[in-house]
Structure 1
Amino acid sequence: MQLSRSYIVDAALEILDTYGFADMTMRRVATQLGVAPGALYWHISNKQELVAAIAEAIIEPIGVRLATTPLSPDELCTSLREFLLHHRDGAEVVAAAMSQPQSAVRLKIFEAVTSSISEYFDTQILSPSDIEAAATGLTHLTVGAAALHQAGLQFAEATGEEFDADNEWQSQNAVRLLLAGLRMKELESQNGK
């Protein structure tokens, strides 16, 4: 096997799914690949870059899905949540990557959500700041709710306490309410109010 960025990301995803974000270290990834930790740095500069690369791999299916099927904003948020929850601590990894300056992951998600809003709402009526606020709200709501879902599930597993199964419904309802508010703003603007 020739070491490459994609092999490193695949190994890190495997560690993430098995052990979680806290145990996904550069040293553990190197051990998984059977190389010295220094060998990773030819392909990935530091853990922050690794987190960003893993986050891009987690959200990559969104771009693939959007290339074949236009999604409404609520369908996009549901898909994003699905991809985040597909990997243990996936939402936490994506949130960590989004917090990095000039985050490519944050930009990709924001652009996808903004594009979806633009397809389903009248951008001639809504102001750019309204669209930006809605895209930001939907992104933060979806990633944050998925992170809380995963943390709650892990807490329930560790303590034996019951898991709040209403989390997904509440998240989807919150997305719909935000979009209903945007639709109301659009209608008010159309009617000149």
Structure 2
Amino acid sequence: MALTAERIVEASLAILDEYGLADMTMRRVAEALGVKAGALYWHFPNKQTLLAAVADQVLDGLETLSRPDGNWLGEWAAAVRFLLLAHRDAAELVASTRAMGLGRVDPAAQAREVLVARGATEDEAEGVAQAFMHFVLGHVMEEQTQSQLAALGVIGGFDGERSQRHFDWGVRLLVAGSERGVAQTAARLE
């Protein structure tokens, strides 16, 4: 079977899930594919671009909001969280990819577009979208770390239901604050 970028990303994602981000090396990916590490560089010039492609794969399932009404911002945040929780260390992977400005999938772009369409300024929309992304990434990183530590017996346990409640509360707080801020701006502009 020919070595393709898609096969490399699939193998990398499988390694991420089994061993974690720290152990997802180019050498390990190459070994999983039965090739030398140098063969990967025909498709990805460096490890960072491979990590970005893996992050894109993780986030590819984020669907476009066809009807951005009701609690759309909370639903969007929950959808991003769901995708991140599906893969070990995915929040750390996506955060590092975003920090480097790599990757083609920007989950915050969807939120920005909807916020602007609902009356937010570009700056407000960017601020709200980034605040939500920072909250979701930070929350999921902590969830994934605690879950892994509990599995290793380092901490007593991980309470997923409690974590879900904390996430929901944080999202409600961010939604209320962002809606209030956007409404104040809209009133000033009228």
The answer on 1:144 being equivalent to 2:138 is yes
Partners of 2:106 and 2:187 lie apart in 1 by 33
Please point out which of 110, 115, 134 is paired with 1:117. 115
User: What 5-or-longer segments of structure 2 have no aligned partner?
Assistant: none
| Matched residue count | 184
Distance 1:26 1:70, change over 3 A: farther
For 2:23, the equivalent position in structure 1 comes to 23
Contact preservation (8 Å) 1:73, 1:117:
no
Partners of 1:70 and 1:24 lie apart in 2 by 38
The answer on 1:108 being equivalent to 2:106 is yes
The answer on 1:183 being equivalent to 2:182 is no
For 1:161, the equivalent position in structure 2 comes to 156
Contact preservation (8 Å) 2:128, 2:178:
yes
User: What 5-or-longer segments of structure 1 have no aligned partner?
Assistant: none
Partners of 1:188 and 1:46 lie apart in 2 by 46
Partners of 1:87 and 1:98 lie apart in 2 by 17
Partners of 1:155 and 1:114 lie apart in 2 by 35
1:132 counterpart letter in structure 2: E
Please give the TM-score of this superposition, normalised by the length of structure 1.
Answer: 0.87
Partners of 2:184 and 2:97 lie apart in 1 by 37
Please point out which of 127, 136, 147 is paired with 1:133. 127
1:169 counterpart letter in structure 2: R
Please give the TM-score of this superposition, normalised by the length of structure 2.
Answer: 0.88
For 1:83, the equivalent position in structure 2 comes to 83
For 1:96, the equivalent position in structure 2 comes to 96
SS in 2 for 1:104: coil
**RMSD between aligned residues:** 2.0
For 1:51, the equivalent position in structure 2 comes to 51
Partners of 1:84 and 1:20 lie apart in 2 by 13
Contact preservation (8 Å) 2:53, 2:103:
no
Contact preservation (8 Å) 1:15, 1:29:
yes
Partners of 2:169 and 2:114 lie apart in 1 by 18
Please point out which of 66, 71, 74 is paired with 2:64. 66
Q: Taking every aligned residue pair, what percent have the same amino acid on both sides?
A: 34
Partners of 2:108 and 2:10 lie apart in 1 by 25
C-alpha distance after superposition, 1:11-66 (max 9, x if no partner): 0001111111111110000000000111111011111111101000000111xx21
